[in-house]
Structure 1
Amino acid sequence: MDTLERIELLDGVCRLFPETGFKGKKDLTTLLELELKSLTALDGFFPYGHGWTKAIAPYQIYHVLAANTPIAGFQSLMLGLLLGSFNAIQCPKPIKKPMLQFISSLPQKLRDKVALYEEFNRQAFDQSDCIVVFGQQKTIEHFKNLTPVTKRFIGHGHKVSLIWLGAIEEIDKEKIALAAHDISLYSQLGCLSPQAIVVEGNSAREKIESFCQVLSDCLRENRDQHPASLDIEVLAEIKNRRDCAKALGWPLWGSSLLEPNPWTVILRKTPSFEPTCGYRTIYVDLVEITKLKDWLNPIKGMLSTIGLFNKTPENIVSIFIEAGATRFCPVGLMQQPTAFWHHDGRNRLEEMVRWVDWEQ
């Protein structure tokens, strides 16, 4: 099966699962041309410098998926299939059902290139020449230590995303609704889910509280669009966050925890970033510009996406980049990166392949 045939087979899968970011074969074609410099780089040598070169795909990729969301698994598998590799997938139970649905949607020729395991499969791991791992840092380190230096290892650890609001000049309900969409999607558990909305600390208090109220209203309005089933432990954690906020005197907006798909907006001022518990619990953090760099210190090197409400000053952009941010986008698109997204700031296909050069 050559590259063009694989692209044709994946075209329909892209349309069934738009959340992968790939709209169809045009995106797949463009990605190959951007990262591998030639559509047929995997099929034969092509001119490169003073000679020729060819990309060699892994014979087998071992994917270790995280339990928080299946989307990364969809994307990783699709990239492996695009390269033509066999794909062994270690899939935790919470996302097994959607992963099986994705695999069952594949044409038979591609389905034959996938094996799914609920637990670590040593034989499949040892047979793989590329290891891709999603998870917490300890998970990344565990599998990295298991991987010989002769094999390619790609780790995607936990990342944090934020929304930059800046100074509040007007209450734009349309954009606030887009932010509520980013917060609600995937129960706020993914690396692209906003953990906090950062507001300039010198903004007028009345406008800040009006913003929080409108955000709360928008989260209420979209609660049926992204329903989530919460167990008693999650509800207890949300209640704990609310109780702590009240004890510290932080204003709070939210629904009853007895309602389906509850939401919480907490306005606070802290010296440094602190994570939310997820599940539509969002912090609106007041941060003075002169202290933004210090506020970001706990997550330096862990930043992923910065959602933007408006045009952002260059000095603010520079602070986020210095802290490790790898993507900026308008609010409403945080959870939906383009097909050409540099995952964690790196090319996705190029990391998986090796190159063979032919010199004259």
Structure 2
Amino acid sequence: MIILADNQKVKLYWVPTAFKLENKTVKTLQVDGQTYRLQAPELTAELVTSIGNACRIARQHSLANMTVAEIVTIIDQAIEKWCHSDYPQRILAEKLLPAITGYDHTTVALEIKRFVRNFRKKELWRFIDTELDNPAILDDFHPQKSGQLTKAIGPTAIFHVFSSNIPGLQIWSLIMGLITKSANLGKTSLSEPLFPVLFSQTLAEVSPELAATIAILPWKGGTHDLEQAAIDSTNATIVYGSDQAVKSIHALVPDDKIFLHYGYKISFAMIGAEALTPEYYPQMVQKMAEDIAVYDQQSCLSPQTVFVEAGGTITPHQFAQLLAKALTNNQLKWPRAKLTTSEAVAVTRLRQESQIQALTDATIQVIASPDSTAWTVVYHQKPALMSSPLNRTIHVMAIDDLAQVPALLRPYQPFLQSCGLAVAPQRLLELGSQLGDAGIDRICAIGDMTRAQSGWHHDGRFNLLDLLKMVDIELGAEALAEHFDPDVE
């Protein structure tokens, strides 16, 4: 078993074992009476290049020669360790991530437990089967219906620029890279640098050879010499983060290299009148409050607006009032993270602007936590899609008919992500098509907005296919080869 912390020193990086890096303490945490000194390496462009090259060489001797089934099995064995509450890396994650990120301990523990289960063997095969009719083409040439032989080849190495808003999210991209048989160089932020390191340690317990193809390094975004070195030593780049981060990295990537990006997005919810009956509305309120509270809306999947249809047992205004009570209860169970000054100012500004509008517009009402910015509900009778400053701030829009929503979305089409939807079966598919036309790429249940399922097409794209190159051997080449077989007449 790998030692996680030596005298309470915790490394925030993972590199092939041949590298012995000079460390410095970048943060000191006091947790449960213990002191943890978080260690990051002193990095240079030359060192990043050397580490990237080492991962690519290790790939040639291990990952490139594994079958996809072997890779899936290794990942599954690593995930299985994380499914046990007494596993040391999970214990350390549950202890330190709340202190690093500010998120509530219960939320972090629960969401990690749920999230890692997306990558068990059966779920990984769902990812793969969703995109490849015959996953064996990741291993070798196989016949296609059109006659040729085809093999899927992934990048030799991928540079991942991870976001820091959601703990654990980094391993989604990392695992997709492993399935494409790519070496992986990940850049983390000091806002959440720990989880991919702990997961890489777990992979090393299961398969040191596979783990040697991975490097996880923290540095400040915008350090162009390090980023250029990482880009130059890989042939694909995947960026998660703000639009500014995406543009900054994109400017460094040559046109002949793969560049995938996942920038700013906005999500919302829609609740039909049929979900607001005495039987259903209490759970709709509670589930909506949970979607808002999980990681304080920092995920692109989190709702910022909820459209509530008139005609139910409770009115949209009553829904807003009940939602405020549910958010009060959630604050007691799962306290929101402490805000930075700028975050607190943003919430306060929205409250004040909305309250000023409400003085002359009776269709607006602000319901807010007293004496704090813990949560905010802004009720509107004039529906529109609106962003929020996050941190448990939600707009509740009254609307006569949910069919009116898609028209409100079209100006924001490039930024749309997920829609939590609660309607009867007779309306689900029609609304789904209309939402898809408007720009939405994921429709899910209320209460599951932050928990995308295996095989989800992130931003409407593929998890694997966008990284793969297809190589075809045509029938003519195959037939010609037969002529040179000395045993063929």
TM-score by length of 2: 0.67
Name the aligned partner's letter for residue 272 of structure 2.
G
Which protein is bigger by CA-based radius of gyration?
2
The 5 Å alignment of 1:87-102 reads: 87-102=184-199
1:128 Cα deviation (Å)? 1.0
Cα distance change of structure 1 residues 330 and 263 upon mapping to structure 2, 3 Å threshold: same
SS of equivalent residue, structure 1 residue 339: coil
**CA distance, structure 1, for counterparts of residue 400 and residue 284 of structure 2:** 23
Higher relative contact order (CA 8 A, sep 6+): 1
5+ long unaligned stretches in structure 1? none
Asked whether 1:115 is paired with 2:115, we answer no
SS of equivalent residue, structure 1 residue 67: coil
1:235 Cα deviation (Å)? 2.3
1:85 Cα deviation (Å)? 1.1
Per-residue displacement from partner, 1:122-157 (whole Å, max 9, x unpaired)?
A: 222112111111123343333333222221111112
The 5 Å alignment of 1:1-360 reads: 1=63, 2=66, 3-15=68-80, 16=82, 17=112, 18-20=114-116, 22-49=118-145, 50-107=147-204, 108-117=208-217, 118-119=219-220, 120-167=226-273, 169-170=276-277, 172-200=281-309, 203=311, 207-223=315-331, 224-225=333-334, 227-249=336-358, 250-258=364-372, 262-270=374-382, 272-289=384-401, 292-311=405-424, 312=427, 316-360=431-475
**CA distance, structure 2, for counterparts of residue 247 and residue 334 of structure 1:** 31
Residues 420 and 449, structure 2, Cα contact 8 Å, conserved in 1: yes
Name the aligned partner's letter for residue 367 of structure 2.
W
Name the aligned partner's letter for residue 220 of structure 1.
T
**CA distance, structure 2, for counterparts of residue 269 and residue 149 of structure 1:** 48
What RMSD over aligned residues (CA atoms) do the two structures have, in Å? 2.5
Residues 73 and 121, structure 2, Cα contact 8 Å, conserved in 1: yes
Residues 21 and 338, structure 1, Cα contact 8 Å, conserved in 2: no
1:112 Cα deviation (Å)? 1.7
Worse-matched range after superposition: 295-304 or 340-349: 295-304
Cα distance change of structure 1 residues 37 and 294 upon mapping to structure 2, 3 Å threshold: closer
Residues 277 and 312, structure 2, Cα contact 8 Å, conserved in 1: no
Cα distance change of structure 1 residues 144 and 21 upon mapping to structure 2, 3 Å threshold: farther
1:30 Cα deviation (Å)? 3.0
Cα distance change of structure 1 residues 56 and 76 upon mapping to structure 2, 3 Å threshold: same
Name the aligned partner's letter for residue 329 of structure 2.
E
Name the aligned partner's letter for residue 179 of structure 2.
L
Worse-matched range after superposition: 205-214 or 174-183: 205-214
5+ long unaligned stretches in structure 2? 1-62, 83-111, 221-225, 359-363, 476-489
Residues 149 and 473, structure 2, Cα contact 8 Å, conserved in 1: yes
How many residues were matched structurally?
357
Name the aligned partner's letter for residue 247 of structure 1.
I
Cα distance change of structure 1 residues 55 and 268 upon mapping to structure 2, 3 Å threshold: same
Structure with more helix by fraction:
2
1:293 Cα deviation (Å)? 4.2
Worse-matched range after superposition: 110-119 or 41-50: 110-119
Per-residue displacement from partner, 1:183-235 (whole Å, max 9, x unpaired)?
A: 111210111000110124x5589622221122122222223236423233322
**CA distance, structure 2, for counterparts of residue 103 and residue 257 of structure 1:** 43
TM-score by length of 1: 0.90
Per-residue displacement from partner, 1:29-69 (whole Å, max 9, x unpaired)?
A: 23223323223222111121202111111110011122322
**CA distance, structure 1, for counterparts of residue 344 and residue 155 of structure 2:** 43
1:20 Cα deviation (Å)? 4.9
**CA distance, structure 2, for counterparts of residue 21 and residue 140 of structure 1:** 29
